Each structure stands twice: as structure tokens, then as C-alpha cells.
Amino acid sequence: MAIEREYYLFNKEELQDLLAFTEDKGLSKREAVRRLYEYGRNIIRESDKKGVFTIFIDQFRDFMIMILMAASCLSFVMGEFSDAVSILAIIILNGLMGFIQEYRAEKSLAALKKLASPNARVIRDGLLEEVDAEELVPGDLIILEAGDRVPADARIISTKGLQVDESLLTGESVTVEKTERSIDRRGLVLAEQKNMLFMGTAITRGKCRAVVVATGMNTEMGRIAYLLEREENRLTPLQRRLKDLGRWLVSLSLIMTLLIVLIGILKGQSIYNMFMAGVSLAVAAIPEGLPAIVTLVLAVGVQKMSRNNAIVRKLQAVETLGCSTVICSDKTGTLTENQMSVKKLYINRRIMAFEPGGKNIVFEKILRIAALCSNVELRKEERRSPFRKVKGFFSSNSIPELMGDPTETTLVKAYYETGHSYTDLKKQYQVIAEEGFDSERKRMSVLVETPGKRRELWIKGAVELILERCKYIENEGIRVPVTNKDKADILKANEIMAGEALRVLAVAYRPFRTNIRAESPGRFENELVFVGLVGMIDPPRVEACQAVASCYRAGIRPVMITGDHSITAAVIAEELGIIPAGGKVMTGDELKKMADQELKEKVDEIQVYARIAPEEKLRIVRALREKGEIVAMTGDGVNDAPALKEADIGIAMGKKGTDVSKEVSALILADDNFATIVKAVEEGRKIYNNIRKFIKYLLACNIGELLSIFIGIVMGLPLPLLPIQILWVNLVTDGLPALALGLDNDSDDVMKRPPRDPEESIFSHGMTGHIISEGILIGISTMAAFLLAIYRYGADLDTARTMAFSTLVFSQLFFVFSCRSEEHSFWEIPLYTNMYLIGAVFISTVMQLAVIYLPFFSKYFQTQLLNSGQWSVVFLLSCWSTIAVDLI
């Protein structure tokens, strides 16, 4: 199979020979596996991916680490070998920890990218299946429709009104009409190859079957991959703010350090000592671990969200989710189960209950039209009953698994339940053209050739829209002109059915006297014969009710925006608790008449919008945003893309969403479920909370260290902590607890608070005061230990330093528990809810004891063994500050 072939030249038969597939069965599964092995996966390789080695080396490119390396070299030159070695060891240890964090973050983000990667519908062994687009091979028969991204280069085999946006490849912004006919001219440029589809372009209208001719790097996209804009790893607003904070802290701490060093030298300390102290102080003051922990916490958070079916496409979404004040959601499938079944029908001027296998003759015609006027495929072949004559031979457990839009599969299922075969129906009545459904048109029609070779238009759609196109009505098989009374009766029946929370579709047809040409049937959707109404029940999801209640508790307003009828929408919204009984619903017609300003004034009060077209969605988001709301909005169709883009958080449906809607979204719901959004909001809030927790922890600890050195130097005392000890605390013992705080389970019920203001500083709600006061207390405790050792116990300098050093470490290890909650004291939160923290504190404690008790380390750290009295002092000084602050 040559890659360079001009596939547009060949006709269907030649293509089948060339690519060895059949038009009805595609490839066999075995052959597909073999070709996957031969041609490789259908992916565009990314050349600039960070390798493991680069990640490791990057850890040492940090400004602070450079300074430390310089310090280590200097100590070496000055003959202070133990200092040089210990600094180096600490740098390596710190680098390793950073590497593990970044590697994990990269891994989990890559795994997420994979989760969000598109699927493709392919026919193998004659059956339709959905596979990961990466598994496509040349010769695969694929099915594409509006909203799909073309997953590989392919040649069209059959099509109905296909239009494609190829701007990505050709730069041409008008959509291109495609055909299945071969073109008899060589050397065409891409834009002229009207029977070809190219990877990465988007289907804007119609549908087609096509055969894959090239995959991965062999596609046109693969050839120009290096030209494509890569999605850079952009920082989230919070990461950016933290970076700014980091810069600010660097300047501040450098000034402080310089000051301390100057005072120290003036007070007679040795220059080398003060240089080393300065370096370690700079390290102490700069929370260099912060950005790495933030990234890891975000990555772990999004991984957790993906396990809960919320796949994050843009990291910013995690932060913005926590701030969202309004969640605008579709109804069908998101707030409802999407497990529909036909309950009532209106035919022959009566509403009748639908019973499977019951009055099938009466129901057959309306369901025949509705079923054929759809895009449903069988996942498995029909299992035919040997008793074909028996009525209802398709018992509910012998109906094959169906694939397609749930409204349509429900109709096909109901058709089976009248005892008829859908496969036979498709054979008897040939669909020769189709005008597809979209949320804008709210109807779908097909041009059908009957067994008597006559052509008819069959149509189904929103009741009002179909009814206004009807000229006749069919009653007991007799066609008569439709009267105003008939229309009023039909609308009344529609209201009654909608009032029972049914989703109602009208069904009609139009026979043609002369055989019209097989072209787009859209322009014949008039002079219709009304057949009846089909009412389907689509119950609200149980978990959506709880999620709605949870939204209200968390100060978030849930808003339903649906294409469905206003009464159906209102009943479902009431059942879900979105609006009170009799609550107001705004319809698309009312909205259209409203000026933007008026909409802006009313938008705060409206909870349910019905019969809304996608462009109205955009107006609603705009109005909400202008009111200062942070809007999360769901969508699935191609036309929803602008609204999803405009929203603060666009949310696409994983199952029924189009590729185009997924691409513009920040979040994808793998289960299309509203409750998943609310869970994601909760997770977003928790993550932000956790980030605040460890920032508070790290900064308070840093202030404590700076302060103890500062006090020591100002008092003219020897350094209370050795540079190596300061480095140890900063780069080793407080890193793990900070990380564990980042992974804390919620200790405050975040869903009982109102959303946070996105402009709010990370230090708001009194955090600065808390950081400073706790920092001062830690600093005082450390100095107190040092002074008590010298003046009360008459200890030597090394012992005094060991006491100060241990007090500093253990104060921090106590304090970390108090950082877990802003509302509760540490003794009110069960310890077992964060086992990471217990583990981290345990490891840090063991490491600290090792530094004192293992002779190998104590030599480098110049520590001394402490007696029980000294340990008691250390213990008391370490815990009092945390207890005092929490009591206050």
C-alpha cells in the first residue's frame, strides 16, 4: 500500500482492491490488528516532549541551587570539606525529590491527555464499533458526521450532504462540499481533492462513510506537524501568581539576608561563617519547593477528578471550577438518565399508552416513520426468532444493541417492540437522502423510496415546528386537511404529554406524485401529513437531585438550558429541585424578543430556559458573565462551541459530545452526568484549599527560621543554627509534610461555603496574620531552646544548636497539623483522614533523629546527643506555639 498514492483518482472497486477491504464489512478485526502492527499507531509524534533525563537535569537549573553549588565549591576551596560534601548531598536529595514530583506530575498529565483523546466509529467484521482513534489503520471503514474531527486521511465512499472545514490545512475559511465521485485529473492540491478527507479537519454538516488511506505521520497533518502550533504548557493564573509571589519573596529575602550578614560581620562574626549563613538564610527564606508542589498537587487533583469521570483538558479549569457561581446545564442526558422509553402516543386523535408487543398494528406506522428517520446502527446483528410469524417476535431481550442518539435508539427500540425488524425496514424502504437533525432545526427528514418505487419524505421533530408545516392529518388511515381545531387538539395533547415529563416528537410524511430527484430533502419539509405524536419518558437522574441541592448549599446557581419543550423542561426542573412548583421558564422565542440589556437585567432570576437554540446559549453566557458570574456551561453539538468557548469553564459531554465541542472545552464529562460537574467543583475547591494550606505552612516555617537567626545575630550570639542545619530543614524535613498537606482530604466542608472570588488573594481571610504570628512563635521557640541550653543548662554550643535545631524541626512538624483547617483546631480533625501526613511526619521525625543519633550524620551536622530533660524542653517548646495559636 503505497502512501503517496493519489487516492482521489480511483473508483470504489479499485479502492477496495487497493486497500483490501469490503464496502459492507470493512476490515476483519484480525487484519486490523495485523495492520496496526505493520503501520503503527495513528498518532502525530511530539518531538519536544521532555525526557526523564531533561526533567532530572532541570531540577539543578534553579537559581537557588546554583547559589548552593557555588557555596559548596567555595567551602571546598576553603578546605571546609564537610560543609562542601553536606551541601552537595542536600542538593542531590532535594533534586531527587523535585524530580520525583515533576515526573509524577508529567506522567499523570500525559495519562489525562490520553483519556481525552478522541474515538472513531469504524466498521470491522461488518459491525460498527467505537475504537480509540489511535488504533485506526489504512483500509478501515469509518463513519463520520457533523461535529467529528477527521481522525486520519481517508477517501469518501458514500456521503449525504457532507461539508468540511479544512481551514486547518488549507487556510481557507469557507467550508468545502465533498463528494464520493472519483476525480479524473492528476496532481491536484489538497483543496481540490473533493473526495478526500484529511486528518484534523472538521465535519460541519452531513455524514459519510470513508476508507482510511493514511494514518499517523503518513497523513498530510503528519507531514506538516512541525508547523502546527503546539499547545504550550501554560501556567494557570494561580501558578502565575505564585511565581510573582516567589519573585517578590526572593527580593525581600535577599535584602533581609544581606542585612543580617552585614550586622553579623559588624558584630564580629567570621566572613566565611556569615557567607554560609547568608546563603542558607536565602535558601530558608525562599520557598523554592512551592511551584513544584503546586504543580504536583494540581496534577494529582486532576487525576483524582478523572477517576470521578471529570477529565480536565485545561489545568486552569481546576482553579476556575472552585470559583464558579452558575452552572448552566443541558437537560437531556446530563440532568436526566438518557435511558428513554416510549410511554404514550397520540394517534387517531387519541392519547394511548404504548405497550410493547401490544397494539402493534396501530403503532407500527408512526414508529416505522420515526425509526427510519434516524441514524441508528446495530452493534450486533439481529437474532431472528425461529417463529417469525409470532407477533412480538422481538421480545425485549432479543432486541440487538443499538448505537446512536438516545432519542433515536429509543424510537428504533419501540419499533422492534411492535414486533418488526429494523433491518428489514431498512431493506424495504431505501433512504436515498437525508436532512440531519441539529439543535437549530429541531427536526430531521429523510427521502424514502417505498417498495412500490414511490418517493416519500418522512419527518420527525419538535411538535410546533412540524405542525406548522402540516397541511393534512391522517385519521384511521384516511388523509384529510388539517383544521385549526385539529391543530389546537394536537397542541393540547402535546401539553398533556409534556406535563407528564415526556419528551414529545411529532411524526409526519409527505408523498410525492412525481418522483422528485434524490437531493437534500430539507426544501420539501412542507405540505406534510400529520401522523401523530410520540412521548418518551426520560427520568431525572437521582444523583442530579442531590447535586442540585449541593449546588444551592455551596452558593452555586444551577440553570437548565434545554432544546426541549417548556412544559417538559419545567416538570423535570421541578423534580430536580432547580425551580419551585410553578416556577418560571423562559422560552427561546421570549429570549429572541429581548434586547441584550433586558436579558442582562433578568438573567439572575431565570433558572430554566426551554426551546433554546445554540446561539441563544451564547447570549445567556454573555449576559451572565457581564453580571460578574463565573459560568460553567455544558454543551455537546458543533453549534455549542462558541458558547463553550465564551463560558469561564466549557464542559463537553464525553459520550454524546462532538469532537469540536470537546476541543474547546476545559472539562469533559466521561459519564455526561451533572453530578460529576458538582463533584469536580468540590474537588477544585479542595485543591485550592490545600494549596493555601501548604503555602501557609511553608511561609510560616521560613519566617521562623529567618527570625531565629536574626535574633541570634542582633543579640551578638553565635549562630543558633548552622547553615547546613537550615538547609536540612528547608530542603528535606519540611518538604514531605508540605506535600502531604497538598494531598489533604477536606477538613473543612468546602461545599458549605459560597464560591470564592477569583480575584481574591491567596492570603485572604486572615492568612497573612496567621503566617506571621506562627512564624514569630516558631522563631521565639527556637531561640528559647538555644538560650535555655546555654544559660539554664550550661550546655556547650553544639548541644545548644542541636536543641534549637530539633525545636525548629519539631515545631514545624506540630504546626503542620494545625494547617489542615481554617475552621477547626487540629485536635478536632481525625488524624486518619490524611495518612500521607502521618507518614510524612513520621519520616521527617526519623530523619531528624538519625541526624542526631547516627554518628556518621552527627559528624556532618555537628549535633550532640540530648538527655531526657533537654528533650522535654524541646518537646514543650515545639508544641506550645501550635496549641497557643489554635486555642486563640
Q: Does 405 bind ligand ATP (CB under 6 A)?
A: yes
Piece of 401-409, 427-435, 512-520, 854-862 that binds ligand ATP (CB under 6 A): 401-409
Q: Does 443 bind ligand ATP (CB under 6 A)?
A: yes
Is the distance from CB of 635 to CB of 644 less than 8 angstroms?
A: yes
Q: How far apart are CA 879 and CA 730, in angstroms?
A: 19
Q: Which of residues 199-218 bind ligand ATP (CB under 6 A)?
A: none
Beta-sheet pairing, 153-165 with 202-214 = antiparallel
Is the distance from CB of 142 to CB of 159 less than 8 angstroms?
A: no
Phi, psi (degrees; rounded to nearest 5) at 595: -75, 160
Is the distance from CB of 595 to CB of 629 less than 8 angstroms?
A: no
Beta-sheet pairing, 478-481 with 430-435 = unpaired
Q: Does 408 bind ligand ATP (CB under 6 A)?
A: yes
Beta partners for residue 127, in sequence order: 124
Q: How far apart are CA 475 and CA 473, in angstroms?
A: 6
Of the pair 525, 705, the CB lying nearest ligand ATP is at: 525
Residues with Cβ within 8 Å of 174's Cβ and at least 6 positions away in sequence, in order, are none
Of the pair 657, 723, the CB lying nearest ligand ATP is at: 657
**What is the 3-state secondary structure of 207-239?**
EEEEEEEECHHHCHHHHCHHHCCCCCCCCCHHH
Cβ neighbourhood burial of 419 (10 Å; 0-12, 13-18, 19+): buried
Q: Does 439 bind ligand ATP (CB under 6 A)?
A: yes
Report, in Å, the least distance between residue 405 CB and ligand ATP.
5
Report, in Å, the least distance between residue 445 CB and ligand ATP.
9
Piece of 107-115, 277-285, 455-463, 665-673 that binds ligand ATP (CB under 6 A): 455-463
* DSSP states along 74-89: HHHHTT-HHHHHHHHH
H or E stretch covering 130? strand 127-132
Q: How far apart are CA 405 and CA 362, in angstroms?
A: 25
Q: How far is CA 858 from CA 164, 299, 799, 817, 854, in A?
A: 72, 37, 11, 28, 6
Q: Which of residues 301-340 bind ligand ATP (CB under 6 A)?
A: 330-332
Of the pair 440, 823, the CB lying nearest ligand ATP is at: 440
Report, in Å, the least distance between residue 325 CB and ligand ATP.
21
Piece of 65-73, 175-183, 556-564, 793-801 that binds ligand ATP (CB under 6 A): 556-564
Structure-block grid coordinates of residue 880? 506550645
Q: How far apart are CA 474 and CA 481, in angstroms?
A: 9
Is the distance from CB of 304 to CB of 683 less than 8 angstroms?
A: yes
Report, in Å, the least distance between residue 439 CB and ligand ATP.
3
Q: How far is CA 58 from CA 38, 604, 660, in A?
A: 37, 49, 36
Q: Exactly one of 27, 444, 531, 699 binds ligand ATP (CB under 6 A); which one?
A: 444
Residues with Cβ within 8 Å of 551's Cβ and at least 6 positions away in sequence, in order, are 327, 557, 558, 678
Is the distance from CB of 684 to CB of 320 less than 8 angstroms?
A: yes
Q: Does 562 bind ligand ATP (CB under 6 A)?
A: yes
- What residue type is 383 in one-letter code? R
Of the pair 399, 534, the CB lying nearest ligand ATP is at: 534
Q: Exactly one of 525, 564, 648, 672 binds ligand ATP (CB under 6 A); which one?
A: 564
- x/- map, 828-847, ligand ATP, by CB under 6 A: --------------------
Report, in Å, the least distance between residue 413 CB and ligand ATP.
14
271-285 and 63-77 helices cross at what angle (nearest 10)?
160
Report, in Å, the least distance between residue 42 CB and ligand ATP.
30
Report, in Å, the least distance between residue 563 CB and ligand ATP.
2
Smallest CA-to-CA distance from 705 within 569, 612, 809 is with 809
Active-site residue, from 62, 140, 148, 330: 330
- x/- map, 32-71, ligand ATP, by CB under 6 A: ----------------------------------------
Sort residue 340 into left (φ over 0), alpha (ψ -120 to 50) or beta.
Answer: beta
Report, in Å, the least distance between residue 465 CB and ligand ATP.
8
Known catalytic membership, residue 330: yes
Q: Exactly one of 320, 324, 407, 821 binds ligand ATP (CB under 6 A); which one?
A: 407
Report, in Å, the least distance between residue 517 CB and ligand ATP.
24
Piece of 23-31, 255-263, 458-466, 763-771 that binds ligand ATP (CB under 6 A): 458-466
Of the pair 320, 494, the CB lying nearest ligand ATP is at: 494
Q: Does 462 bind ligand ATP (CB under 6 A)?
A: yes
Sort residue 609 into left (φ over 0), alpha (ψ -120 to 50) or beta.
Answer: beta
Q: Cell 477496495 identifies what position? A: 16
Exposure string over 211-237, b if 16+ CB within 10 A, otherwise e:
bbbbbbbbbbbbeebeeeeeeeeebbe
Structure-block grid coordinates of residue 788? 535555655
Q: Does 377 bind ligand ATP (CB under 6 A)?
A: no
* DSSP states along 577-600: TSS-TT--EEEHHHHHHS-HHHHH
Piece of 37-45, 413-421, 454-462, 692-700 that binds ligand ATP (CB under 6 A): 454-462
CA angle 415, 416, 421 (to 5 degrees): 105
Report, in Å, the least distance between residue 436 CB and ligand ATP.
9
Q: Which of residues 490-519 bind ligand ATP (CB under 6 A)?
A: 505
Which residue minimizes CB distance to ligand ATP?
Answer: 563
Of the pair 583, 769, the CB lying nearest ligand ATP is at: 583
Q: How far apart are CA 110 and CA 648, in angstroms?
A: 24
Piece of 28-36, 212-220, 456-464, 837-845 that binds ligand ATP (CB under 6 A): 456-464
Report, in Å, the least distance between residue 638 CB and ligand ATP.
12
Of the pair 429, 810, the CB lying nearest ligand ATP is at: 429
Q: Exactly one of 275, 437, 694, 815 binds ligand ATP (CB under 6 A); which one?
A: 437
Q: Tell me, by CB under 6 A, how many residues bind ligand ATP.
A: 19
Is the distance from CB of 701 to CB of 775 less than 8 angstroms?
A: yes
Q: Does 525 bind ligand ATP (CB under 6 A)?
A: no
Q: Which of residues 682-711 bind ligand ATP (CB under 6 A)?
A: none
797-818 and 674-714 helices cross at what angle (nearest 10)?
160
Of the pair 324, 407, the CB lying nearest ligand ATP is at: 407
Report, in Å, the least distance between residue 460 CB and ligand ATP.
5
Q: Cell 459530545 identifies what position? A: 657
Report, in Å, the least distance between residue 124 CB and ligand ATP.
26
Q: How far apart are CA 145 and CA 207, in angstroms?
A: 4
Of the pair 309, 439, the CB lying nearest ligand ATP is at: 439
Piece of 172-180, 402-410, 417-425, 784-792 that binds ligand ATP (CB under 6 A): 402-410
Of the pair 261, 371, the CB lying nearest ligand ATP is at: 371
Of the pair 565, 801, the CB lying nearest ligand ATP is at: 565
Q: Exactly one of 368, 413, 420, 460 binds ligand ATP (CB under 6 A); which one?
A: 460
Of the pair 287, 461, the CB lying nearest ligand ATP is at: 461
* DSSP states along 273-303: HHHHHHHHHHHHHS-THHHHHHHHHHHHHHH
Piece of 163-171, 442-450, 805-813, 818-826 that binds ligand ATP (CB under 6 A): 442-450
Piece of 79-87, 283-291, 405-413, 768-776 that binds ligand ATP (CB under 6 A): 405-413
- Catalytic positions, written as ranges: 330
In the complex, the residues that contact ligand ATP under the rule CB under 6 A are 330-332, 405, 407-408, 437, 439, 442-444, 460-462, 505, 562-565
